[in-house]
Structure 1
Amino acid sequence: MKLGIICTMINGFGRRGFYNTQEIGLGRELVRQGHAVTIYKCVKKEGAGEAERVELGDRLSILYIPVSSFGAHGCLDTAVLDPDMDAALCFADNQIFLPHIHRFCVRHGIKLVPYIGRTHSSSGGVHGFVMNALFHMGTLRWFRRGPVISKIEEVRQELLQLGVKDVTVAPVGLDFSVMKSNFREYDRAQLRRELGLMPEDTVICTVGRMGPEKNPLDLVDIYREVRRQKPCKLLLVGEGIQSDELKARIAACEWAADIILIDRIPNDQIWKIYAAADYFVNLCQTEIFGMAILEAMYYEVSVAALVAPGPSVTLQDMPGHKLCRDYEDVKNWLLAEHPSREALHESAARTVQRYNWKPCADAFLSIAAGEKQ
């Protein structure tokens, strides 16, 4: 079949050049199963930029499309979509401009399948209220018209309560083609030296956007408490709207010399961060899935994550990792004896088995093979 993957979000989701983007991972699995795939990825419009197509391999390409937007909601001009597609999966969530994509697909007999990780705005106040109202008036009505796929069971239950009758759960997965499968063969001591660490260091890390939802400032505070009782170093990778504040918080820390902040790192080098670390901490309480958490488990780094929709699923039955109720739980995990290599290796194997893109691809293809809408 000729398939499309549509991503209208213009926030950090699927940011160009990012390490483990969901739409590309799914696209590669669909190609592996014998289909031709075009990914339509909206990006923030700057000037008079034109759409750019990048070939990712045989029968797989991604079209980066500059769009106007309202917050993280990209307004895609459907003229760029191929009317001859058999079906398209849309990373939907609560995107408010999706109904006109739905209408385009209806006109051209294209089966459109929403893939949903969130049913409400993550913003508070008036903005969040307006976004949720627009979602209920438009996008939700489209979800009710046919089969949809949710990323986790919690979202499935929310959709059912909202009147969506046909919901299949299919988790996100890692794109193993960009993972360093032979990372264990590398000299870990040398990898640490490359990052300014010592071979004997206990290393706590995090990777992601440095914004309020990720609570990087709180991580520095937790590190200070842990450091008072246990020699360790903190490795932070990422940038965002709190980067300047984060640098100030680090500078004010009495152990600033033991904190390393890396704004950016080439995608093909990110594996070294995980391979060098002992712990990975995620303090986001609204984490829908957490690709960095999956990456950390794959690379056998002990994860401490606050209770959130994603970690509550991905850390289930994963030895060597901890789902934490609060910051005190996180601190205690970091102060406890480090999990065994055997436990972390077992969890890594389960991550590969459970969190690949085949279940999502299979669910999409099963819906696409039915009658066109």
Structure 2
Amino acid sequence: MLSKVLYIRNFANKVNPKSYNLQEIGFGKALIKKGFDCDVIYFDNNNKLKIEEVFQFRNNKLRILWMNGMKFLNNGIFTKVLRKKFLDEYDLIITTEYNQIMTFFLSNLCPEKLVLYHGPYGDNSNKKIQLLYDSFFLPRMRKNIKLNFSKSDLANNYLMKKGFKDVITLGVGLDTEHIDERINLNKEIESKLEKVKDKKVLLYIGVLEERRNISFLLNILKNILTLNNEIRLIIVGTGREDDTKKYWNFIKSNNLEESIIYFDKIEQRDLWRIYESSDVMLFPTNYDIFGMVLLESMHFQVPIISSVNGGSSTLIQHNINGLIIDKFDVSLWISEIQRLLNDSGLIAQIKQAAAETVREATWDHIAERMLMQIKH
């Protein structure tokens, strides 16, 4: 009988629970409510293990284990986890991504209780390392992992091409605990949002980098302003200095400063005000494992126009609960933005359908589906 679950986020970067809707925490809360104890491992730079209790339901607890690990590319290698004594504490172990070295180690140490929950749908950018990993590690790993789950339909297809069998798409859920708090109005946010009153507002939330197609996003703004200079763009996010410098140079050289309202980061509890001020969410990313902002937008009733990516391919039905554009053509995106902004009937339909989508995309539902497969 299962009683204690370990969920390992294998990436070698530190996360911030206040500014991002962390999937592991949402999934962990769902497991707690189903009667399990759950520990989530996050990478930390501090050599001393820090244990943080973040949620309790009845007698069950969700803890974050902030754990130092070795770094190899984007892999976090947690040597403490690889000890038998540590692994024996848990009845079920969830590992993220097949191509993280921790997944291979765990598939040899505890195959009988290891499940994979995979998000990426493309190979590592370092093709040589990817080839070596698949050649030496993949065949044995495929045999050892108990069950294989994916976060999107694209990730499912990717795993199947790698030879994994019976992959089940679970999707991703939305943890609404903090984004629905709406405790106090943030004065700094309110001051900036004064600029968008009575305007049509586009929204982008995410990392500022080329993978997310920020140059394309800014070109959309530049060109749509020639048709309607009352449009504004809210941007929430930051990125590497080289990238952000390039974007701000473009913004200044094209006189876009007055048309952009920028926040480098927003805490989860303040996100509602950003969404409430927006008319359309733009998500023109070249690649994204899922994109929690898609679920957040649906939750806050902001219609989405998205590229094809992990989240949109799984969540969005074109012209029903959002719009998907499969080309990066500025004039095409502008045409769809205008169509959406000017069609109140389409907006109402999308909002209604999106509300139904997000009602079904809960961590409780996803955890139940995983546990049903494990029990079988």
Q: State the TM-score, normalized to the length of structure 1.
A: 0.86
Amino acid across the alignment from 1:252: S
CA shift digits 1:100-156 (9 cap, x unpaired) = 2233325xxx61100011254342xxx233134314421453133332111223332
Residue 207 of structure 1, CA deviation = 0.4
Q: Provide closer, same or farther for how the CA distance between residues 65 and 352 of structure 1 changes in structure 2, counting only shifts above 3 A.
A: same
Give the drift of 1:350. 1.7
Give the structure 1 partner of residue 232 of structure 2. 233
In structure 2, relative to structure 1, the CA distance for the partners of 1:319 and 1:263 (3 Å cut) is same
Shift in Å, 1:252: 1.5
Q: Secondary structure at the match of 2:281?
A: strand
Deviation of 1:345 after TM superposition, in Å, equals: 3.0
Map of 1:156 onto structure 2: 156
Pick closer, same or farther for the CA change 1:318–1:358 going to 2, 3 Å. Answer: farther
- Paired with 1:132 and 1:354, the residues of 2 have a C-alpha distance of 38
How many residue pairs get aligned? The number is 356
Cα distance, 1:251 vs. partner? 1.4
Contact 1:115 1:151 in 2 (8 A): yes
Q: Provide the secondary structure at the position in 1 that maps to 2:114.
A: strand
Q: Which residue does 1:167 correspond to in 2?
A: 167
CA shift for structure 1 position 158 = 3.1
The worse-fitting range, judged by mean Cα deviation, of 110-119 and 313-322 is: 313-322
Which residue identity lines up with residue 11 of structure 2 in the other structure?
Answer: M
Name the amino acid aligned to 1:101.
L
Q: Deviations along 1:47-80, whole A, 9 cap, x unmatched?
A: x532211111111111111222122111111257
| Consecutive unaligned residues in structure 2, runs of 5 or more | none
Residue in structure 2 matched with residue 282 of structure 1 by the alignment: 283
Instruction: Tell me the distance in 2 between the aligned counterparts of 1:156 and 1:140.
Output: 18
Structure 2 partner of 1:57: 55
Classify 1:68/1:257 alpha carbon distance in 2 versus 1 (closer, same or farther; 3 Å).
same
**Counterparts in 2 of 1:112-131, with a 5 A limit?**
112-118=114-120, 120-123=122-125, 127-131=126-130
* One-letter code aligned to 2:28: G
Distance 1:92 1:216, change over 3 A: same
- Structure 1 position 223, deviation (Å): 0.4
Q: 1:83: which partner in 2?
A: 88
Shift of 1:320: 5.6
Which residue matches 1:70? 72
AA of the residue aligned to 1:332: S
**For 2:102 and 2:284, how far apart are their aligned partners in 1?**
31
- Helix, strand or coil: the match of 1:213? helix
User: Once the 2 structures are TM-superposed, how far is the Cα of residue 175 of structure 1 from its aligned partner?
Assistant: 0.8
Flag the 1:118–1:255 CA change in 2: closer, same or farther, 3 A.
closer
Relative to structure 1, the CA distance from residue 170 to residue 318 in structure 2 (aligned partners, 3 Å threshold; closer, same or farther) is: farther
**What is the aligned partner in structure 2 of residue 210 from structure 1?**
208
C-alpha distance after superposition, 1:6-36 (max 9, x if no partner): 1111258x55433211101100111111111
CA RMSD of aligned residues (A): 2.6
Q: Residues 254-265 of structure 1: matches in 2 within 5 Å?
A: 254-265=255-266
| 2:96 counterpart of 1:97 | no
CA contact (8 A) 2:148 2:167 kept: yes
Residue 335 of structure 2 aligns with which residue?
332
Q: Structure 1 pair 366/282, CA: closer, same or farther in 2 (3 Å)?
A: same
Checking the alignment, whether the CA contact within 8 Å between 1:204 and 1:280 is kept in structure 2 is yes
CA deviation map 1:194-218 (0-9, x unaligned): 5242320111110011111111122
1:360 aligns with 2:366: yes
Which shifted more, 227-236 or 112-121?
A: 112-121
Partner SS state of residue 116, structure 2: strand
Partner residue, 2:36 = 35
SS of 2:154's equivalent in the other structure is: helix
Write the distance in 2 (CA, Å) between the matches of 1:182 and 1:263.
Answer: 20
TM-score, normalised via structure 2 length: 0.86
Q: What SS does the corresponding residue of 1:39 show, helix, strand or coil?
A: strand
Output the CA distance in 1 between the equivalents of 2:294 and 2:208: 16
Would the alpha carbon gap of residues 320 and 152 (structure 1) be closer, same or farther in structure 2, given more than 3 Å must change? closer
Partner letter of residue 349 of structure 2? A
2:245 aligned with 1:247, yes or no? no
- For 1:70, give the aligned amino acid: F
Structure 1 320/167 Cα, relative in aligned 2: closer, same or farther at 3 Å? closer
Q: Contact 1:318 / 1:347 at 8 angstroms: preserved in 2?
A: no
Give, as a single letter, the amino acid of the residue that structure 2 aligns with 1:157: N
Q: Deviations over 1:150-172 (max 9, x none)?
A: 12233323323332223222111
User: Structure 1: which 5+ residue stretches go unaligned?
Assistant: none
1:369 aligned to 367, 370, 375, which one?
375
